[in-house]
Structure 1
Amino acid sequence: MGIGQGVIRGHAITLRRFVLTFWRDFRLGKAFARRGGGHGAFDFFQKPERGHEPTVTQDFTTDGLFTVEYPDERLPVYERFRVLPMLVYDTEDGNVRCTSCNICAKVCPPQCIWMTQAKSPKGTVVPLPEDFYIDMDVCMNCGLCSEYCPFDAIKMDQNFELSNYERHQTHIYSLQDLLVSSEYYSKTHPDAWASAEQVAERGKVAKKKDQRLQKALSAGRSAPAAKPSPQPAGA
């Protein structure tokens, strides 16, 4: 190929795609509509309602322009898409699955997770997190914390719209920011929720929960009766 012919050929391919794109739109009656199939022709001022934006699916059959006019149009969010970790609590009883074992903090490559374990009024350790923090600016979205969690308490969320005007406090996610219900996770990850592996894992977690409950109940039944307080001699 001679000098400059490659550049000319590339421009010709681009021009052909440009012409065919608009010819297809005119032929289908979409010449004055939004590229992704929005709600109206030239709807520069009529924005779609939040949560009802049209979803634009692009696959190997898609031709023409590939621009998605976000946020008025959106690409589909697939189940394996992951952003930040989230802590799951059981919808049935409201129990937080996390036991503050600290494994997730140890395996985290950028060390963006830290927590403190809860304590009873007597000062004994309770298998629950009192504080749990994740720095979203440091998190690399690897998902190792979710894979290594022995109690199936950490999952990866799909929410990617996290930008704001302040990052020193709002980007540090606390325990209340990270908590989601098991019902929420079952809706965002239906295939994973119904998989045999996670069904078996939930069974193990429920069994451990029942064992801890039975242990606590048996300890309460076998506790010795309180001794009566000594009375004065003249009582």
Structure 2
Amino acid sequence: MSIGRGVFRGHWITLRRFLLTFARDVRDGLALRRRGGGPLPVDLFRGPAPGQERVVVQDERTDGLFTVEYPDERLPVYERFRMLPVLIYDDEDGNVRCTSCNICAKVCPPQCIWMVQAKSPKGTVVPLSEEFFIDMDVCMNCGLCAEYCPFDAIKMDHNFELANAERHQTHVFDQRDLLVSSAYYAQTHPEAWASPEETTERAKVARKKDQRLRKALGARTGA
């Protein structure tokens, strides 16, 4: 008898979750909306507009199906989530913080970062990066480059939708692909941006910035 009751109870739990899924959709106004599948040639239901996808939070209070119907539904992206590294430039003056010191490339475990340091017409080294590359197919998203960067120039981004049909050229990000503004980072990482550690680091970088730019400009104009 106990075995029979266990089988019946398992089926009832499955049926209850199935019915609660429809009840939740009716309650949330999603009964006539398509869930899952992405863009379709013929769509009988209303799909979400780009950027208006429903964010699904799954916790112990969630009833019904636990499947997130990506891309029509999405899980929340939390601040500590990390994907590919990006290079920060300051909104105030457009200064790119990277000095091409090569520390990030040295600490990178899979060796997916490489760069070319800028030089003046005289051939002297300038503390700026002329070229900067990251192979996203090799990057393991560990964040060591951001942790070791002495100029707070590298941060970890949230953008994970990077797949395409070509993997030999478009998956190698150059400096133009990697540059994001400090305002963008402040928007995606508000807690980290306002933390005492980040504030102290920004002040330290700002003190060094003017000296570095004067050196770079002096090398260029002195040719």
Q: What fraction of aligned residue pairs are identical, expressed as a percent?
A: 74
Distance 1:102 1:29, change over 3 A: closer
Partner amino acid, structure 2, of 1:47: G
Tell me the CA shift for residue 31 of structure 1.
Answer: 8.0
Relative to the length of structure 2, the TM-score reads 0.83
Deviates more, 1:193-202 or 1:48-57: 48-57
Relative to the length of structure 1, the TM-score reads 0.79
5+ residue gaps in structure 2? 36-42
Count of residues in Structure 1 that have an aligned counterpart in Structure 2: 214
Distance 1:22 1:215, change over 3 A: closer
1:49 paired residue number: 49
1:112 paired residue number: 112
Q: Deviations over 1:50-93 (max 9, x none)?
A: 11222222222111112222222222211111110000001101
Tell me the CA shift for residue 115 of structure 1.
Answer: 0.6
Tell me the CA shift for residue 212 of structure 1.
Answer: 3.4
Partner amino acid, structure 2, of 1:69: E
Pair 1:201 & 2:201 matched: yes
Q: Choose between structure 1 and 2 for higher RCO, CA contacts under 8 A separated by at least 6 residues.
A: 2
Quick check: 2:110–2:138 contact (8 Å CA) kept in 1? yes
Distance 1:20 1:45, change over 3 A: closer
Partner amino acid, structure 2, of 1:18: F
Tell me the CA shift for residue 109 of structure 1.
Answer: 0.6
1:228 paired residue number: none
SS in 1 for 2:73: coil
Q: Rg larger in 1 or in 2? A: 1
Quick check: 2:19–2:64 contact (8 Å CA) kept in 1? no
Partner amino acid, structure 2, of 1:139: C
Quick check: 2:33–2:47 contact (8 Å CA) kept in 1? no
Q: Please, what is the CA RMSD of the aligned residues?
A: 2.9
Quick check: 1:35–1:68 contact (8 Å CA) kept in 2? no
1:159 paired residue number: 159
Tell me the CA shift for residue 164 of structure 1.
Answer: 0.7
